[in-house]
Structures are given as C-alpha cells and as structure tokens.
Amino acid sequence: MTIYRRDMLKAGIAVGAGMMLVPASTRCQESAANEELNVGVIGIGLQGRSLINAALKMAGVRFRAACDIWEFSQRYAEYYLANYGHKVNTYADYREMLDKEPGLDAVIVASPDFVHAEQVNASLKAGRHVYCEPMMSNTVDGARSMVRTMQETGKLLQVGYQRRSNPRYLHAYGKLLQEANLLGRIGNVNTQWVFALDDDRGWPRRNVIPDDVLRKNGYADMRQFRNWRWFKKYSGGLFGNLGGHQLDVVNWFLGATPTSVAATGGGRYDPATQWHKNVMAMFEYEPAQGPVQAFCQMLTDTRADGSGAHERFLGTNGSLTISQNPRWTAIYRDPEAPEWDDLVALDYLQTKEQERVRKSERKASDVAETGIVETYRLPVELDNPVVYPHLLNFFEAVRGKTELNCPADVAFRTDVVAFKTVEAIAARKTLEIPSGE
Amino acid sequence: MGTAFHVDVVADDRNYARQAASACFEVLENIDRDLSRFVESSDISRINHLRRGASTVVTLHTFRCLQVAEQMKRETGGAFDVAFASHGHPRRADHPFRGFELVAASRSVRVLADSLQLDLGGIGKGYALDVMASQLREWDLSSARLRASTSTILATEPPPESAGWPLDFGPEHDRRRVMLRRAAISGSGTRVKGHHVIDPRSGRPAANVVRCWACAPTAAVADALSTALMVMKPDEIRALCRRQRSVSAFVLPTEGSSLQSYSGTRQVK
C-alpha cells in the first residue's frame, strides 16, 4: 500500500515504522514551547543567508548578533532579520561579538574555511555551542584543533555535512541499508557533483571593503575575498567543499573510511595558488562486509548533464542512487535479486504502478528476454530547505533533546580524506590513509 | 521557473556588467528555490502541504510575492488568483475564495482552506525580474532590460540618447511599438499552450480573448495582469485601468480582430 503524504496529513494517522514523512513544519509547531535560544552568526554570505532563512522557520530561535567583515553584509543581516522581528547587533570582528554578547547560546559559523578554526575555537572557549559549515578548516591541523577544543570545552560542535540529517538519507541508511540490507554486498560506490563555473564573483562598486580592513582580515584584495573558495590560502579546496559532502555520505553508509586514495585534478588557473576545477578520485574501503571501491568526481564544465549531484551505491541485489534532489534519487532491483514487495508493503520503498510487471509473467521462465530492472522511490519528502534538518538537529542537541548527527570528530574523518585526496593529486600516486586519524 | 531569463545592461565596463548580471542570476536561483511548486523543499511546496489552520514562516521573497499576488487578486476582482488550483475553490465570482492569509509580523503564511494549492506561475517570473532590477540598481547600473523568455519584459532607465527600450508587440496585422522605460510589459495567449489559463471564478479555461498584453510599473503586476486579462470582461478591464492609471491593457478578442486598447498611459505611446 502506498500512503501519500497528503492523505496522511488529512487522516492524521500515526507515522508507520518505515515512514519518515512528518513535515518539518509540524515539528516546528510542536516545538513552539521550546526554550528560546539566542544565536549569533559569523559570515553572512550565500551560505550564511541560507542558514539564517532556515533558522527563521524554527520556533525558539532568536538571532541577536551578526558578524561579517563586509559592512554590506552586516546591513543585509540587520535589515533582513528586522523583517522577522529579530533586532541584531552587527559586528565586523567576531571577538568583539563574543565579548559584547554574553547571552548567546550558539554561534553559526559560515565564513571562509581559513578562519573557521580560530572563530570556532574562540566561540567554544567562550562557552557557546557552534554550528560550522564544512570544510572544518583549510588545514588538517586547524580541523584537528577544533575537535580538541570541542572535547576540552564540552560544548557542541556540529559540522554542516547536512546529508547526515536529511530524512531521505536517514531513511536510506537506517531502513534500507542497515535494517533491510537492500543492496546485498556493496562492491562499488560512485559519486559525482557536476556544475558550471561562473565568472568571478564581483561586488557593487560603492560597497568596497577598504584595503586596510581586507589586509587586517587576511585577504589580499576584494577579488580574493569574494572568490575565496578558489584560493588555497583561504579554502580547503573545492573538492573538499563540495565533494566532501559526498565523501561523508560514503563514509557514513559504509561505516568506514578509505584505506587509500589515488586522484587526479585539473584546473585552468594557476595551480600554485588556486584549486583544481575538476577532480577524479578513487578510494579503497575495507568495511566489515568486504572491500569496496569508490570513484568520486567533481566536474565544473556544465550543469546540463541531467544528473547533477548524487551518490550511487551498487550491490549484489541492486543499486541506490541518492541525492538531495529527489529527482535524482532512485533505487533499482537486480532481476535476479529477491523480491522487494515486503519492503514496499512496509512503506520502506515506493514503486510506480506503471512500472510493475505482472508477477505471473515475471516468475515465468523465459530465456528470450532480459530480466526487468524495477525502479523504486524513497517514500520520504523534505518540505523545508535542505539545510533545515541539520540545523534543527543542532538546536535540538543544544536543548539537550538529541545527539548531534555530525559532531566534529565524525566530520574530521571526512575532512582528513579530502586533504589526503589533494596530496594524492600533487603526488600523482596512490597514498595510504592512516586509520589513526 | 522553466524559462530562460536574459539581462541586457548598459555599463562602461563589460566585466562589471557580467558580474552584476551573475549576481542577478544568483538571486533568481534563490527565488526559484523559494517559489517553485516543483521544488520539494520550496516555501510554496511546504505551504501546499499544510493543513487548514497551520502556518509557516517564509522567506522575504515568498512573502512579498504573495503580497503582490493578493493585491492583484483584489484589483482584478478575483480574475487573478494564485490559489486557483485549490481543491474546493468555489469558482464563483460572488463568493471569493480565501485560501490563506499573510501574517506580516512573522512573515508567515497561514492556511485557511483544505487542500490549498498555490501556483505562482502567473506572477513569479515578473516578481523575479523586479528583484533582479533592484539588484542592478544596487550595482549602480540604472539602464537595463530584463526578460523572462519573451513573455515578460522589464525596462529600467533607457540606453543613452534613447527614449526607451524599443519593444514590438501585438498581432501581425496590428503591431505596436513601445519605448519602454521604468515599466514592464507582459503577454499571455493561447497560441503556444492553448487555452491553458483557467478562470478562477468559473474553473473553466479562458475564452474571452486569444492574446493580451499588460503594461505596468512593475513586472510582477504586468505578469499577473496579463494572466487576468485573459479572463476579464471588457467592463472589468476598463474599470481597472481607470482605477490604476499606471496600467495599460491590450486585448485581442479573436485572431484577425484588431487590438483593443484600454487606457493609454504614460508608458505606452
């Protein structure tokens, strides 16, 4: 039986064991009585704004302070949040924000990678819980220091590998892979993130940051400030920034980190100072179920390849292609694999009626035809921005209601692999990844 | 939004203009993510999943676009209604359907009907053009023409030594030329998608006209109005243009007939 979300809401029926369709908006209403959390945000660029928008949808989150070295962004935050009745104080220096805002419970860090370590460590030491965008840092030492500070202070540090809280991914991991062993033995994983490079990001002429302010904050000039993700000085690498999200899913779903990496990377800019624009990396895993090879590619030539960003797991019983975009999510059953009808009955999977084949025909022996690969869908929707569940998980953990889905020590294992991939590209050979990290 | 957007901008620096246009497209992506009913995690999808009485906070773009939509619903006497697809819509002009309300203090949307289905296809493109134009103003680029496919076009200040951005519209046998400045023009019709515009007041496809164009100070209003014109009666159009002096309407009742103009205004000469 297929239960459609609308029907469920109307009927008000309980959520079944296999369903994770409780709309976030309902959860939001349920937590209306939550204690109010005072929040500051450091870094009000694209991702910072996205996180602000997600947090504004949550009951009991009150923005009190916003920090960015760009006055233009400070004004944006002040204006935007005022529309929602949040009066914030704005700062150019995060240290001043931490000093003058003793009432903050939590800080969201969405600044460039190279300042994450100092901003996160200072916030944790000042007694605030922190949500930090990945990568954790542009250096492995910086990332390691964040794990240590989290452990020493006892404060929470959630790293924004947001797929860890996405209900579609949680369903695939918990119900399909862990509980039902849907794919059988997984032998191969491939991930891809395909997008198109745009022009360098610019800025309105009248909103230039003075040179002395840029230099004081570590930036060479306005262009590098606006395009920091491309420069080795500020960023842990585009592969880590984007592909890291996917590496994290592979690590999570396999329950392991890779033992080795071989990779190649290309770029059309100066390779000495700027990051690779295309990366292809191969990883070897040795999880308990048996060896797995993974191939991860990040390509920047076009966004018109029709399949966007996804992770694909191939096992003896079929394959799972999963993405933040439901359009690119699908599950295929191998013709020789056991039936999945029981999983459909449990609402662990959905299948389109038109794709069903009559069982009598399917069970008949026919050597003249190739077996039919059936397509299934995940019966899970996310009716909020993709950053919402992970940020909500953080705030609920701050309230003591749950555990973090991606604490810094877990994210660190992913970041180590991303850093090792960059080393492998430079070394042009296969590198071992020590398990000790 | 399922259509191609174009930005033409007058600037003294090509690279600066390209970067400004890129900033516009970045904003456009965000708006699409908020307003598209085809995006699972959009504000509109979330609203469409809410039960009667429930509410949700939305982004400022969603809130403002819905504000304009509500204003246009009032102005057109219900001929434009972003909730037209809702199950249970009464389809009666004397019984206006109120599917949601906007709560300004929290920038949220409260659902007032069962099975509310919002569809911003008749206003979202125009709203996006307005926001993109304001983005260009922030970059001190005052002269630009922004297009959502060929259906909605917004002009800011004209190019140097020009009265406006030239634009032709109308049927082949009755072409009109507009020198567009600080205004938008939007067209609707049956030639590409057939009779696809539903009259919210009757539930039936529009049959009054085959093509129409609306000119207004903003692209959102022009976009919404061009949809409404497809189902409005001549008296209603005349009354609307009388009330809103900045609005012009052009209607082609049948292929081959002459273009009917309502209320010549400052934008159209």
User: What pLDDT does A269 receive?
Assistant: 65
Rounded CA-CA distance A420/A227 in Å is 23
B contact residues 6-45, partner A, Cβ 8 Å cutoff: 15-16, 18-20, 22-23, 26, 33, 40-41, 45
B57, B114, B135: best to mutate for the A interface, most A CBs within 10 A:
B57
Higher per-residue pLDDT: A372 or A156: A156
Q: Contact, A47 vs A133, CB < 8 A?
A: yes
Shortest Cα distance, chain A CAs vs residue B108, angstroms:
9
- The residue whose two tokens read 């809401």 is A9
Query: SS3 breakdown of chain B: % helix, strand, coil, rounded to 5?
Result: 35, 20, 45
Give yes or no for residue B189 having a pLDDT over 90: no
Rounded CA-CA distance B215/B154 in Å is 10
- Residues of A within an 8 Å Cβ radius of B: 5-6, 9-10, 23-26, 28-29, 46, 53, 56-57, 80, 83-85, 198-206, 326, 381-386, 388
Task: Kindly indicate the confidence band of residue A17, based on its pLDDT and cuts at 50, 70 and 90.
Answer: very low
For residue A83, the chain B residues in CB contact (below 8 A) are: 60, 107
pLDDT tens digits for range A65-75? 999 999 999 99
Percent of chain A's residues with pLDDT above 70 = 86
Shortest Cα distance, chain B CAs vs residue A388, angstroms:
10
Give yes or no for residue B229 having a pLDDT over 60: yes
For residue A5, the chain B residues in CB contact (below 8 A) are: 49
Give yes or no for residue A15 having a pLDDT over 60: no
Shortest Cα distance, chain A CAs vs residue B180, angstroms:
26
> Residue B59: closest CA among chain A residues belongs to which residue?
A53
- Average pLDDT (A279-288) is 96
Give yes or no for residue B59 having a pLDDT over 80: yes
Give yes or no for residue A354 having a pLDDT over 70: no
For residue B107, the chain A residues in CB contact (below 8 A) are: 56, 83-84
DSSP code of residue B13: -
The neighbour count for residue B235, using CB atoms within 10 Å, is: 8
Half-sphere exposure of A117 (CA within 13 A, CB side): 17
pLDDT tens digits for range B62-106? 999 999 999 999 999 999 999 988 876 666 656 667 899 999 999
Q: What Cα–Cα distance (Å) separates residue A103 from each residue in A39, A127, A184?
A: 9, 10, 51
User: What pLDDT does A24 receive?
Assistant: 41
Give yes or no for residue A44 having a pLDDT over 90: yes
Rounded CA-CA distance B9/B25 in Å is 13
A8, A31, A61, A83: best to mutate for the B interface, most B CBs within 10 A:
A83
Rounded CA-CA distance B214/B227 in Å is 9
pLDDT tens digits for range A57-115? 999 999 999 999 999 999 999 999 999 999 999 999 999 999 999 999 999 999 999 99
Contact B140 A85 (CB under 8 A): no
Report the b/e string of A212-249 with b at 16+ CB within 10 A: eebeebebeebebbbbbbbbbebbbbbbbbbbbbbbbb
Contact A53 B115 (CB under 8 A): no
> Residue A56: closest CA among chain B residues belongs to which residue?
B57
User: What pLDDT does B93 receive?
Assistant: 59
User: What ipTM was estimated for this complex?
Assistant: 0.90
User: What pLDDT does B226 receive?
Assistant: 94
- Average pLDDT (B12-31) is 95
Structure tokens, B187:
């067209």
- Name the least confident of A10-14, B15-19, B150-154, B204-208: A10-14
**Per-chain mean pLDDT for chain A:** 87
How many residues in total does chain B contain? 269
**A154: phi > 0 → left, psi -120 to 50 → alpha, else beta; which?**
left
Give yes or no for residue B194 having a pLDDT over 80: no
- In degrees to the nearest 10, what's the CA dihedral of A209, A212, A216, A217? 10
Rounded CA-CA distance A389/B41 in Å is 11
Phi, psi of A146 (to 5 degrees): -70, -40
B228 at A interface, C-beta within 8 A: no
Rounded CA-CA distance B128/B154 in Å is 10
Phi, psi of A160 (to 5 degrees): -75, 40
Q: In a 3-state reduction of DSSP, which class is residue B185?
A: strand
Higher per-residue pLDDT: A143 or B192: A143
Rounded CA-CA distance A88/A107 in Å is 13
Closest CB from B23, B54, B138 relative to A29? B54
Task: Kindly indicate the confidence band of residue B57, based on its pLDDT and cuts at 50, 70 and 90.
Answer: very high
Give yes or no for residue B196 having a pLDDT over 90: no
User: What pLDDT does A13 receive?
Assistant: 29
Rounded CA-CA distance B81/B117 in Å is 11
Give yes or no for residue A437 having a pLDDT over 70: no
Contact A201 B19 (CB under 8 A): yes
Give yes or no for residue A189 having a pLDDT over 70: yes
Closest CB from B19, B33, B40 relative to A383? B40
Task: Kindly indicate the confidence band of residue A268, based on its pLDDT and cuts at 50, 70 and 90.
Answer: low
Structure tokens, B11:
């600037």
Task: Kindly indicate the confidence band of residue B3, based on its pLDDT and cuts at 50, 70 and 90.
Answer: confident
Task: Decide: residue A139, CB within 10 A, 0-12 exposed, 13-18 middle, 19+ buried.
Answer: middle
pLDDT tens digits for range B123-177? 999 999 999 999 999 999 999 999 998 889 999 999 999 999 999 998 888 899 9
B contact residues 42-61, partner A, Cβ 8 Å cutoff: 45-46, 49-51, 54, 56-57, 59-60
3-state secondary structure chain A: CCCCHHHHHHHCCCCCCCCCCCCHHHHHHHHHHCCCEEEEEECCCHHHHHHHHHHHCCCCEEEEEEECCCHHHHHHHHHHHHCCCCCCEEECCHHHHHHHCCCCCEEEECCCHHHHHHHHHHHHHCCCEEEECCCCCCCHHHHHHHHHHHHHHCCCEEECCHHHHCHHHHHHHHHHHHHCCCCCCEEEEEEEEECCCCCCCCCCHHHCCCHHHHHHCCCCCHHHHHCHHHECCCCCCHHHHHHHHHHHHHHHHHCCCCCEEEEEEECCCCCCCECCCEEEEEEEECCCCCCEEEEEEEECCCCCCCCCCEEEEEECCEEEEECCCHHHCEEEECCCCCCCHHHHHCCCCEECHHHCCCHHHHHCCCCCCCCCCEEEECCCCCCCCCCHHHHHHHHHHHCCCCCCCCEHHHHHHHHHHHHHHHHHHHHCCCEECCCCC
Closest CB from A53, A206, A386 relative to B140? A206
Give yes or no for residue B259 having a pLDDT over 70: yes
> Residue B44: closest CA among chain A residues belongs to which residue?
A383
Q: Contact, B53 vs B40, CB < 8 A?
A: no
- Average pLDDT (B28-53) is 93
B32, B46, B109, B138: best to mutate for the A interface, most A CBs within 10 A:
B46
Percent of chain B's residues with pLDDT above 90 = 70
Give yes or no for residue B222 having a pLDDT over 80: yes
pLDDT tens digits for range A200-252? 899 999 999 999 999 999 999 999 999 999 999 999 888 888 889 999 999 99
